[in-house]
Amino acid sequence: MAPRGPDGGPLVPVRIEPEDFHAVAQSFVDASSRLYQVLPTLFRVLDGFRGPAGMDQAAKQFDASYRPAVETLVNGVNRAVNLLGDIGVGIDTSARNHWNADAAATPGRAGQPPPFSPANPGLVLPQDPAVPSLVGSPTAVLPPPLDDKIPMGHTDDLRTVGRAFWSARDTIEGISVGQRNALQRLFSNNQAADLDALNAFWDRVGGSGNTAILTALQRGCDELGNAVSQFADWIEDTQNRIVDAIGNAPKDAALGAIAAILLGMITEGLGAIAGIAKVLDEAGEGAILVTAVDGVLAVAGGRLVAVGAVAGSAVGAMTAAINSTPDPNIGQTNPQSVTDAQAQAAAKDVADQAAKPADVGAARELKVAELTDGTVPSGAPGTPGRLIVRPGVGKTDIDVIGGDGSYIQVGGPAKARDLAKLGQKLNILKWKAGQDGVGAQAFFEEGTPENVLAIARRILGPDNVHTFTP
């Protein structure tokens, strides 16, 4: 429930102020824009290095868990950007509901528009940056087989990468706290059924639970920062152990003068490994170095696996949060707060539900196919269309393929029930259309709520969203 005073009323018992709703709606749209910038800021750092982990086996092993985790983070940020914008649109719709209800109940004000412009996130395309590999550039080139065994990553660069993830974490945390505070101010000064729903909803977005998406993204960034920094620590610690092991190996082998040369090189640290290898090879004792390195890596391998698991653990938590992101539609306020147009849309939706869903869907798809000179790819209108699956994100269907080859989804008023799902499916449709070099469009039956159309226009572009009469 929204915070209440001792008498059960709001902490500041005042009437509903639609302008308060609109201000918070705009703050969510602005927060969506700030969250969008998290990825460009992060990737400016990631793209600034070329293979900072080196090119040995440990670098490849760590990179194999690191890159999928970053890709999942990208998907999560894209999802949260759309979600915050959708929440803003939903709250702004509620602001207009309250304004219209007040205007209808006040003599002389009926039909007057709200004194504020719609909160509009605009067209936000999902970001899909290529995650740069950490593998590629060792601090020194070693002869085989040492080049695949000894970790030679740039530890300072890796720690810079780790700090970039922590900075992203702090930015997301600031956005989450800021929006929680904005909602608290709204809850404290207003009271309505839609606010109670919104308060409960926000706990599933920015609450402390593992599946709250903003919280999961913060933890994912934190875990990635920790993993990269711990990998840098592992490199340095393993290098030191290898130096110690090399220092002992020639003495055990009683190599005499060669031992003195090696020990002199060892004081220069891992940078002298190439020289040490050359001396041992010339003496026919190169196997000593390999044996020493293998012994160290056998002990250090368990810790490397644990470090990689830190990066890998971020994937599951963020994926669960992405898949369980809730519907941002906070619903209607009450019958008195609903505009005539919304009441008509609700009635239309009830009528649709009374008909057989397959019949309604079939009529819509056939009409859109006619309008676009297209075809229904399922061959059976009203049944699931051509399946699209985007790994790690979700799936959707192509309902109609237009005469120009464009991929089209078709719907009606019921799409307003789950705006989050709608946004996800339209983003997947746009992604697949982009891969195949065709357009992506959406057709909605007349009477579909404006918040549905607004989300579709934001994702696909205004020219690619249409309404029709079956």
Domain residue ranges in the chain: 18-119+140-236+304-323, 339-468
Q: Collect all residues with Cβ–Cβ distance below 8 Å to 396 and sequence separation of at least 6.
A: 387, 388, 409, 424, 425, 426, 428, 429
Which value, to the nearest 10 degrees, does the dihedral of the CA atoms of residues 335, 338, 340, 345 take?
-90
- Cβ pair 32, 24 in contact under 8 A: no
CB atoms within 10 A of CB 350: 10
Q: Is residue 13's pLDDT more than 70?
A: no
Q: According to the model, what pLDDT value does residue 321 have?
A: 80
Residue 258: pLDDT band (50, 70, 90) is very low
> Please, what is the average pLDDT of the chain?
78
Mean pLDDT of 379-384: 68
Mean pLDDT of 341-358: 42
- Averaging pLDDT over each range in 61-70, 205-214, 346-355, which range is the top one? 61-70
Pairing of strands 440-445, 465-468: parallel
DSSP character at residue 125: P
Closest CA to 303 of 241, 247, 245: 241
Mean pLDDT of 108-121: 83
Residue 98: pLDDT band (50, 70, 90) is confident
Residue 336: pLDDT band (50, 70, 90) is very low
Mean pLDDT of 339-360: 44
Q: According to the model, what pLDDT value does residue 149 have?
A: 82
Q: According to the model, what pLDDT value does residue 16 have?
A: 63
Q: According to the model, what pLDDT value does residue 188 have?
A: 75
Mean pLDDT of 296-325: 71
Closest CA to 128 of 205, 72, 69: 72
Distance CA 67, CA 51 (A): 12
Lowest mean pLDDT among 45-49, 108-112, 300-304, 451-455: 300-304
Q: According to the model, what pLDDT value does residue 21 have?
A: 87
Q: Is residue 244's pLDDT more than 60?
A: yes
The answer, yes or no, to whether the previous bond of 118 is cis (omega within 30 of 0) is no
Tokens standing for 12? 């500041």
Contacts by residues 346-354 (CB-CB < 8 Å, ≥ 24 positions apart)? 346/413, 348/412, 348/413, 348/445, 348/447, 349/412, 349/413, 349/414, 349/416, 349/447, 352/412, 352/413, 352/414, 353/414
Closest CA to 54 of 192, 152, 183, 121: 152
Pairing of strands 400-401, 407-411: antiparallel
- Cβ pair 371, 380 in contact under 8 A: no
Distance CA 236, CA 168 (A): 26
Mean pLDDT of 131-135: 95
Mean pLDDT of 139-157: 82
Three-state SS at 440: strand
